Structure 1
Amino acid sequence: MWMIRQTPEGKPVRESYIIMIFLMLLLCSLFSELIGQHFIIGPIFLGLAVPDGPPLGSALSEKLDALVSAVFLPLYFLFSGARFNSFVLEATSFWIVQVLAISSFFGKVLGAMLPSLYCKMSLTDSLSLGLIMSAQGITQLLYLQSSLYLNIIDTQSYGNVVISILWLTGAALPLVKFLYDPSKRYLALNRRRTIEHASPDIEFLLMACLHNEENTPSMITILDMSNPSEQRPICFYVLHLIQLTGRATPLFIDHQSSSNKPSSIYPTHSQRMINAFRSYEQQNQGKLVVNLFTSISPYETMHDEVCMQAAERRASLLIVPFHKKWSSNGVVTESSHSIRAFNRQLLRTAPCSVAILVERGTLSRNNPLTSAPFYSVVVVFIEGSDDRESLVYAMRMADHPNVSVTVVRLIEPRRKSMNLMMRDTDGDLIHRFKVEYCIQIKRHDYREEVVKDSVEMINVLKSFDGCFDLIMVGRRHANREFSSLFNGMNEWNEYPELGVVGDMLVSSDTTYDGSVMVVQQQILGSHGGGGGGCYGGGSGGGHHGGYHHPDFHPDFHHPRQERRLNIPEVPRDTRVWPMV
């Protein structure tokens, strides 16, 4: 506690403190041996004394994790295996030990399942919990090593028990992975969570994920461009995502609750973001409600937490930052590979539409907290549900008096004649934009570009350089495999999560310096509408505008359709109330 008090807020722990902890670790091991205990007993009590989380717990985890996981742990398993001698095993004793091991294993599984079933847990989750609680690992190996060292058991008994641990744990872990699927809580929602299918007369439910403070200005700019108003208010959920380090369990903090003060846990990570969003909320009283949360969890399971929150909050769109960020002077800042994997997982499993925001510094310069800037937006429209989703979102932005929206539709020559003869869903939406915005509001524009192949499409995209603050594109496109616009583009795709057009605008050899938003419409669920939120309730009807199309990811799959827990729609008052 003294070390933590001596560490300035937001600063790393001194190296001298880390060295002191390591020396204390060795002294505690020596003290345990001197009093006749196992050498690991002292470090266990020292670990219990160290407070979890930052700054000290996370610093120790960062210093020790790589060394322990990559060097010491494999060496220990190698040492444990070297003590195993298969030539001293006897068939009779071997089978007796295995039968006893199986009996005790099932007894432990049943002992964990019965209380879980009594507490109304499902059978599948109860079995998964029982298997997890019955799995054995390094702790059991430590007991066996100590017993062998103290001559409590012989080499034959040691080998029999090690074999039972190996095959019982090896059988339990695949079963847990097969039975326990966290995504089943949100994947099969029976309502559409999209902007296209949402009712226009209810509040707009929007959620954004932030990894660090640098994401805050661009997200506030996108929120301002989304045009919060008294007629069409916005309920905006902000999730600050922090990687779990130095703690044993994930943590979810609701900053609306008075009991969770941000100054007590992770103070500097979230407080500045909270202040910025609260300031913007105060400037838009009656138009906007901002709800802020902090999620501290491993990156491997972080997408499950985000997807569950998006399902519970009934968000129509989830905005996440790209793992790379370009500053105004061209410097590229690349985050960890885990953030990119997190974005790809969201694209597979999100229960709503997803938008990946690639920020190149243009949005950060236009700060709505200090000025009233003018935004120029262009929508690249080809065809498909993702393009419609981006266009519907841009049409909401077009209602903002300081936003100019230009829709550029790329059409192949053979399809231009077809569009003149018949109008599909894409054509209906384009016609609505031209009538409601281009004719009535002169600052908006629409134009069509006839392109024969990918070269001409790239030339059209290059013409946007320096003209727009934000380009909005769909991630997937209908009939892509039959279109000449995408011939040969998959082989040069540097960022598959952005789609073909988004990758052209963001790849390392491009000259475009504006921000890009890549939109993917929800790929799950069936017919239905949206509703509920911070302000009001209702349901918005709409046809199923999506299409099932092969994804650019080689490992992409459509989630399983199975019976899942549905989140009910709760009608709410139409007045502006903050979340409690």
Structure 2
Amino acid sequence: MSQIYYNAFQWSTSSIIVVASLLDEMNLLNSKIGRLAIAASLIETTVFTAINTVASLGIIIRIVHNYYISVIVLSTHIAYILSVLYIARPITQWMVRKTPQGAQLSDKNFGFLIFMVLLFSFASTLIGINISFSLFFLGLMLPSGPPVGSTLVDRLEGIVTNLYFPIYVALIKMKFDFTMMMDYIKELKLVIFLDSITIIGKIIGIMSAAFFSARLSPRSIFTLTFIINTRGITELIIVDKNNDWASVDLMFPTLLMVVVTAMAIIAAPLVKILYDPSKRYKGHTRRTMMQHYFNDNIELRVVSCIHRQENVPPTVNILESLCIDNENPFCIYLLHLRELVGRITSVILPYKKIKTSPYATPATDIVVNAFTTFQDRKNGNNYKGIVDNNIHIPGADCVTVQPYVNVAPYTSMYDDICDLAISKKASMILVSFHRTIGFSGAVEEVSEDIRQVNLSVLKHFPCTVAILIDHGHNIDIDTALENTIHGIIRYRL
């Protein structure tokens, strides 16, 4: 009986690994619910891992009944933490600095990184540190994102996800005899009851937090609850440990396996039914370019999406053609789009906040500087004025550039684009064509990821959408500011 209550305590905590996997599978990593779920599960995992580690350390100290051994055990735990902070992390940061921008870790550095992880894992097991804490702390302290995260994903995700994980799950389930389940209906009801208590507790907690801060709807509250209560690899490991402990009676591990499997099966369909981030676009009044031109002195707001540096010159060219002057003020919400690789937290933030964060890259600086040059050039002959309630007052700058950075999966990147257009009341979204076309007219490069982003934006468009097809992609920014347009633009009104 005590084993059931111990598992109920463990299951009351969400695993960030399981939550992130579910959100990634359902393309919800960059949704509002997804970001809340990631933040909540990260806090839960951190607190639970710390409590579990302290409890394990306390048990070891209580068992040995020796003051000097207790001091040694405590010292080794502190030494492990300091080693990660002042040895493993600086070495990995040195690897990042030595890796060229946009490239992956070299084979030598990648091999050394894997060796270092195995070495620290072995050391933690040797000195009695909880293995879940050691790996979690090591992963938390090492630099995320490219090039470390992207290299690990590129080289390990396929073999781990498609080979090791299915084999591990199959080996776990082969240990259990599911034919005995019908003989323990009473115990199964108790396990389900305890798991239901954890779900109800989280519903109450989320409702309380939502009432005071997040302002979530009841539907979103239940969605967030099911996301946080989903089960996966972490719970399978717990069940496997219980099976190792239960050398005679396999009843409880078998019942736990049934509940874990059931929760993993029903979580994704329920979340899909309850939450659809694109629904908010259906009730939104779509803004168009035509509506803007019928309102004098209202600044034109455009969300300009940039994937690569090559997109900057043609985009500047097309913006140059919009007859920008003091009578036709213009606001550009520059959105530099980057794929989420090696991380689980997607962001969309103003450029000023990104500059001091781990998401900062030289490529973003180049893109923003190019548009800043365009802004300064257009405002060079205008004296300063003010803009009040979107009504342009003569003398104000005719061009304003507000740069943002969006790091998200390509499959759901459209959600951040459309959400920014809605929140800023933009009249047009400008995106680049997924094919790079040379001067000869031949297709030089095709990006299916960008194509899917464009199709999703067209499907959920909150305003006019323009797709820019350019034949002068290799013109530099200074030349682009002086030349005429070399492209075609297609409007979706």
1:534-559 CA deviation, whole Å, 9 max, x = no partner?
xxxxxxxxxxxxxxxxxxxxxxxxxx
Matched, 1:4 2:96: yes
Q: Aligned partners of 1:153, 1:339: CA distance in 2, in Å?
A: 56
Counterpart of 2:186, as a letter, is T
| Matched residue, 1:174 | 269
Provide closer, same or farther for how the CA distance between residues 153 and 93 of structure 1 changes in structure 2, counting only shifts above 3 A: farther
Q: Where does residue 345 of structure 2 map in the other structure? A: 249
* Aligned pairs (5 A) from 1:309-388: 309-330=420-441, 332-361=443-472, 365=475, 369=479, 372-375=482-485
Instruction: Report if aligned partners of 1:355, 1:520 keep a CA contact under 8 Å in 2.
Output: yes
Q: Which residue does 1:274 correspond to in 2?
A: 368
Q: Deviations over 1:274-325 (max 9, x none)?
A: 1111111111003311121110112222111111100011111111112211
Matched, 1:261 2:355: yes
* Residue 132 (structure 1) aligned to one of 227, 231, 235: 227
In the superposition, relative to structure 1, how do residues 66 and 329 fare at CA in structure 2: closer, same or farther (>3 Å)?
Answer: farther
Q: TM-score, normalised by structure 2?
A: 0.70
The equivalent residue for 2:3 is none
Q: Deviations over 1:473-501 (max 9, x none)?
A: xxxxxxxxxxxxxxxxxxxxxxxxxxxxx
Q: Please give the per-residue CA displacement for 1:64-120, whole angstroms capped at 9, x wherever unaligned.
A: 222222222222222233223212322333333333333433333333333323433
Q: Work out whether 1:156 is the aligned partner of 2:251.
A: yes
Q: Is the contact between residue 334 and residue 402 of structure 2 (CA under 8 Å) also seen in structure 1?
A: yes
Flag structure 1 segments of 5+ consecutive residues without an equivalent. 376-468, 470-514, 522-580
| Counterpart Cα distance in 1 of 2:178 and 2:357 | 58
Whether 1:208 aligns to 2:318 is no
**2:131 maps to 1:20:** no
Q: Partner of 2:237 in structure 1?
A: 142
Distance 1:343 1:374 in 2: 25
Label 1:167 to 1:110 Cα distance change in 2 as closer, same or farther (>3 A). farther
Aligned counterparts of 2:412 and 2:325: Cα–Cα separation in 1 = 36
Q: Is the 8 A contact 2:104 2:150 kept in 1?
A: no
1:225-244 equivalences in 2 (<5 Å)? 225-244=321-340
Q: 1:322 to 1:81 in 2, by over 3 A?
A: farther
Letter in 2 for 1:161: L
2-structure distance, mates of 1:165, 1:63: 29
- The aligned counterpart of 1:302 is 413
Q: CA offsets per residue over residues 343-383 of structure 1, 9 Å max, x none?
A: 1111111211112222233x6559665663344xxxxxxxx
After TM superposition, give the deviation of residue 213 of structure 1 in Å: 0.8
Q: Where does residue 290 of structure 1 map in the other structure?
A: 401
CA contact (8 A) 1:236 1:291 kept: yes
> What do the CA deviations read for 1:188-246 (whole angstroms, capped 9, x no partner)?
223x4101222352222111111111111111111111221111121111111111112
Q: Give the letter for the 1:111 counterpart.
A: G
The SS at the match of 2:301 is: strand
Report the equivalent of 2:82.
none
Counterpart of 1:121 in 2: which secondary structure? Answer: coil
- Provide closer, same or farther for how the CA distance between residues 367 and 331 of structure 1 changes in structure 2, counting only shifts above 3 A: same
Deviation at 1:39, TM superposition (A): 5.1
Displacement of 1:143 after TM fit?
0.9
| Distance of aligned partners of 1:169 and 1:108 in 2 relative to their CA distance in 1, 3 Å threshold | farther
Distance 1:232 1:21, change over 3 A: same
Q: Secondary structure of the equivalent of 1:197?
A: helix
Which runs of structure 2 are paired with 1:500-511 in the superposition (5 Å)? none
For 1:208, the aligned partner's letter is S
**Range 89-98 or range 328-337, more displaced:** 328-337
1:99 corresponding residue in structure 2:
193
Indicate conservation of the 8 Å contact 1:221/1:364, yes or no: no
- Superposed displacement of residue 51, structure 1: 1.4
Q: In 2, distance between residues paired with 1:154 and 1:24? A: 39
Cα distance 1:263–1:171, how it changes in 2: closer, same or farther (>3 A)? closer
Report if aligned partners of 2:313, 2:480 keep a CA contact under 8 Å in 1. no
What SS is found at the alignment partner of 2:417? helix
Alignment: residue pair count = 379
Q: 1:243 & 1:371 partners in 2: Cα distance?
A: 28
Shift of 1:136: 1.6
Decide whether the 8 Å contact of 2:304 with 2:431 is kept in 1: yes
Alpha-carbon distance between aligned partners in 1 of 2:471 and 2:162, rounded to the nearest angstrom: 37
Q: Given that residues 210 and 321 in structure 1 are in contact (C-alpha distance below 8 angstroms), is that contact kept between their aligned partners in structure 2? A: yes
Q: Contact conserved, 2:340 with 2:346, CA < 8 A, in 1? A: yes
Q: Are 2:489 and 1:517 equivalent residues in the alignment?
A: yes
State, as a whole percentage, how many aligned pairs show the same letter.
30
Alignment partner of 2:122 out of 2, 6, 30: 30
Structural mapping, 1:530-569, within 5 Å: none
Q: Distance in 2 between matches of 1:304 and 1:110?
A: 29
The SS at the match of 1:13 is: coil
What is the letter of the counterpart of residue 6 of structure 1?
K
**Is the 2:152–2:342 contact (alpha carbons within 8 Å) kept by the matching residues of 1?**
yes
Structure 1 runs (4+) deviating above 6 angstroms are none
Partners of 2:348 and 2:416 within 8 A in 1: no
Residues 262 and 360 of structure 1, relative CA distance in 2, 3 Å threshold: farther
Amino acid at match of 1:348: K
The residue matched to 1:182 in structure 2 has which SS?
A: coil
Q: Which amino acid aligns with 2:115?
A: L
- SS of residue in 1 equivalent to 2:278: helix
Q: Secondary structure at the match of 1:280?
A: helix
Q: CA deviation at 1:23?
A: 1.0
Residue 238 of structure 1 aligns to a residue whose secondary structure is: strand
Structure-1-length-normalised TM-score: 0.60
> Which AA in structure 2 matches 1:77?
V
Q: CA deviation at 1:41?
A: 4.7
Q: Separation in 1 of the partners of 2:276 and 2:425?
A: 21
Q: Is the 8 A contact 2:317 2:483 kept in 1?
A: no
More helix by share: 2
Whether the 8 Å CA contact 1:187–1:350 is kept in 2: the answer is: no
